[in-house]
Amino acid sequence: MFKVAVGQGEDLDARSAVETAIAHCQFQLRELRPQAGIVFSSIDFDHKLVLAELLRRFPDIELVGCTTGGEFSSDFGFSDDSINLILFCADMIEIKAGVGRQVSIDPTLAVESAVAQAREDLSGPETLCIVFPEGIVASPDAVIRALNQMLPPLCPVFGGVPSRHYEIPAPTLQFFQNEVLEDAVPLLLFTGPLRHEFAISNSWKPIGTKAKITESRDYEIRRIGDKRALDFYRYYLGAHRYPALEFPLAVYDESDQAHFLIRSPGDYAEDQGSIFFSGPISTGTTVQLTEVTRERIIADTEASVATMVKRCRDDWQPAVALAFSCATRKQILGTRTPEELRILKGFLPAPLPICGFYTFGELSPLQPGESSRLHNCTLVTLLIGEENAVASMDSTGIGPGPSLPTHHRAAEKVERLERENLFLQKKLKRSEHYRERLERNKDLSDALLKKINRDMKRAHREIKRKNSLLRKSLALANEIQLNLLPQHDPINEHLDITGRIIYSSATGGDYYDYIRFPKSAGHRLDVVVGDVTGHGIEAALLMTTARAFLRARTFQPGSLAQVVTDVNRHLTADLYETGRFMTLFYLTIDPAAGRLGWVRAGHDPAILFDPATGHFQELRGEGIALGVDRSWRYEEHQKSGLTGGQIIFIGTDGIWETHSPRGDMFGKQRVYELIRTHAAASAADIADRVIEDLDRFRENPEPEDDITLVVIKVKGPGKK
């Protein structure tokens, strides 16, 4: 059996508040006697009286607790001024309390004392630790590191750093048995068949750029990136007098950039330009400014709690949900603060008791199975229950009965009304404080928005400037590339020849060229058409390189096949492991002799049409694309019998792979019909008809790929 009761009393009078909390717990437990308890209390109560009353009612209880910045429970709801009580009853699970003192002087020794005291009467290894370490004058981060070292690896540590309302300049307090302490670390150790599940709601969203901590000393951060820490904050938020609690830092683990801890700024050193954070941040750590909205807190809380509930087995019934929520979350949620409790009640199985408080730091692992750590600005929800507890309720029930009075101690009507009046005045004063904080937060948010707008305008101007430079560069690249293409069609007494190229962007990878051999017998003319994979600047650069290789090699001794083989060897060396290549069709014509020779390197075959017979022939041949295999040897193919009127058409796949708006492909058959239909026209007219038909087929949007074609028409009869 493992039963937990939760009671909460809200009142100006400490005795009345604690009696109400006790009465509600006793109503839930019936005759069961609690083994241990936790008390969360507003800072304003007489805490000596509260602890004395609890020990008078439960003399043998193991009792710990602390002051808070607000309390909430399923018994009452949310309150800024209440006493929250959790009582544990168990027969198979042991719970013992311990305390360490003077944490600020020696946190390790304080933790050793607390653990040793709690361990004295435990019969087995610890399975859970709940702790409330001082966090204003001492280091909760040092406490959690010491606990991780002293407790068994399978014993996680959970808890919250004691807090108070921000507007009350008083020390935070810790409770142990009948003692009200400062600078202490009270804890409970559990042993036995205990099971737990937990969730962390980290709702903050990183903004701005990541930066490195370049100078720090424990909690004092002096420089972030190339700026003083204070200037780093004011760069985004403008000048502000108070620490920007609502804009903490995301602190990344270098080995896990997907997850981060939150560290809140606590104080400034104006002269030094440094900021004191809630936990130490080492030099070299990556950080980033964060922000949050109320909607994001609510949505993230729902998501994290829902995920935790899914991990629970259907046959396991937790006995209680403990919640440790950051006081900064409460400041931001404002009037929506009760929604955190509403979410817990909505997702957790009813009528599970829920109890929690608003902290100055939350303690838990970041992921299941990891060591516990100090968090800020999070909500840690912890489910505890006996390992084999079944998902059902026994006859004792849980929850206050309908006849339970709000106040257990009777009071005269006038006295009660006076207390209620004072209580309302206190709430009104606190509401004024909340309003002031919301106004300060609005000022910070406005400053951040102005900074974002300034950065956006600056970025927009920079983008316009760079776009202008890019357009000029592209225009220059386009001009250079066009100058590398033939500036006019060659004049040849035997051939009518023309070429066309249309780039799908400012520059492209398609290419054609005429190579003349004026001193050759028969007026030899070479025509080259190439297509580099892709288009744009990279393709244009590769095309330019291939053109240079080809022109340099063509005028050297060697056959057509040797020319292309050598060009391939050079290109392959440049394109190794880039994944790019180039297809090429190299045609040489001797019109006087009526002969053709060609090398095909992965390119679509040229088309030869004879109007006299109406027959089409493709000039095929084996050969892979250039830039793939440097050892490939290309072969030259030849054809004789070139006669007047015959037409040679060389194109790139941007022609036949053009798509209509309906997804149809232009294809080669349309090219064949255009050549047949306009066979009597000049080479230029045939090229124009193909371009016009492509435009109509696309319905005039920009082409998807570069388009290149060369049309050669034999003027007169050739020789056999």
In DSSP notation, 414-439 reads: HHHHHHHHHHHHHHHHHHHHHHHHHH
Q: Quick check: 111 and 185 in contact, CB under 8 A? A: yes
The pLDDT assigned to 461 comes to 77
The pLDDT assigned to 719 comes to 39
Residues 173 and 241 in one domain: no
Q: Residue 369 burial by CB count (10 A; 0-12/13-18/19+): exposed, middle or buried?
A: exposed
* Angle CA 377–383–386, to nearest 5: 155
User: Would the pLDDT of 395 be above 50?
Assistant: no
Residues 225 and 340 in one domain: no
The pLDDT assigned to 398 comes to 40
Residues 267 and 120 in one domain: no
Q: If you search the block for the tokens 């938020």, which residue do you land on?
A: 237
Does residue 171 sit within a domain?
Answer: yes
Does residue 690 sit within a domain?
Answer: yes
In the Cβ-directed half-sphere of 264, how many Cα atoms lie within 13 Å? 25
Residues 29 and 43 in one domain: yes
Residues 199 and 211 in one domain: no
User: Would the pLDDT of 313 be above 70?
Assistant: no
Q: How confident is the model at residue 606 (pLDDT cuts 50, 70, 90)?
A: very high
Query: Count of domains in the chain?
Result: 3
CA pair distance 707, 609, nearest whole angstrom: 21
Query: What is the per-residue pLDDT across 117-127, written as a single tens digit (0 to 9) for each?
Result: 999 989 889 99
Residues 221 and 355 in one domain: no
CA pair distance 644, 638, nearest whole angstrom: 18
Mean pLDDT (the chain) is 86
Residues 565 and 642 in one domain: yes
Q: Give the Å distances, CA to CA, from 376 to 201, 247, 599, 639.
A: 11, 11, 71, 82
DSSP annotation of 396 reads T
Does residue 434 sit within a domain?
Answer: no
Does residue 439 sit within a domain?
Answer: no
The pLDDT assigned to 257 comes to 67
Q: pLDDT: is 460 or 419 the higher one?
A: 460
User: Would the pLDDT of 299 be above 80?
Assistant: yes
Query: What is the per-residue pLDDT across 33-85, written as a single tens digit (0 to 9) for each?
Result: 999 999 999 998 999 999 999 999 999 999 999 999 999 999 999 998 899 99
The pLDDT assigned to 415 comes to 60
Report which of 7, 134, 177 is spatially closest to residue 82, judged by C-alpha positions: 7
Q: How confident is the model at residue 350 (pLDDT cuts 50, 70, 90)?
A: confident
311 φ, ψ (degrees, to nearest 5): -75, -20
Q: What is the CATH number of the domain that holds 509?
A: 3.60.40.10
CA pair distance 490, 50, nearest whole angstrom: 106
What is the signed CA dihedral for 605, 611, 614, 620, rounded to 10 degrees?
A: -10
Greatest C-alpha distance within the chain: 130
Q: Which domain holds residue 543?
A: 486-714
Sign of CA pseudo-dihedral 314, 320, 321, 322: negative
Residues 37 and 133 in one domain: yes
Q: What is the mean pLDDT of residues 703-716?
A: 89
Domain boundary among 289, 306, 334: 289
The pLDDT assigned to 408 comes to 43
Does residue 388 sit within a domain?
Answer: yes
Does residue 251 sit within a domain?
Answer: yes
Say what angle helices 413-484 and 537-554 make with each other, to 10 degrees: 20
Does residue 435 sit within a domain?
Answer: no
User: Would the pLDDT of 587 be above 60?
Assistant: yes
The pLDDT assigned to 699 comes to 86
Domain boundary among 393, 411, 426: 393
Does residue 561 sit within a domain?
Answer: yes
Residues 121 and 135 in one domain: yes
User: Would the pLDDT of 392 be above 50?
Assistant: no
Q: How confident is the model at residue 434 (pLDDT cuts 50, 70, 90)?
A: low
Residues 214 and 172 in one domain: no
Residues 281 and 320 in one domain: no
Q: pLDDT: is 244 or 66 the higher one?
A: 66
Q: Which of 99-103, 492-496, 698-702 has the highest mean pLDDT?
A: 99-103
- How far separated are the first and last CA of the chain, in Å rounded? 108
Q: Residue 197: left if φ>0, alpha if ψ -120 to 50, beta else—which one? A: beta
Token couple for 411: 């009071």
Token couple for 617: 């022939």
Q: pLDDT: is 199 or 579 the higher one?
A: 199
Q: Quick check: 574 and 585 in contact, CB under 8 A? A: no
Span of 129-143, 343-357, 422-436 with lowest mean pLDDT: 422-436
The pLDDT assigned to 393 comes to 38
CA pair distance 38, 159, nearest whole angstrom: 11
Domain boundary among 289, 310, 332: 289
Residues 228 and 319 in one domain: no
CA pair distance 203, 427, nearest whole angstrom: 28
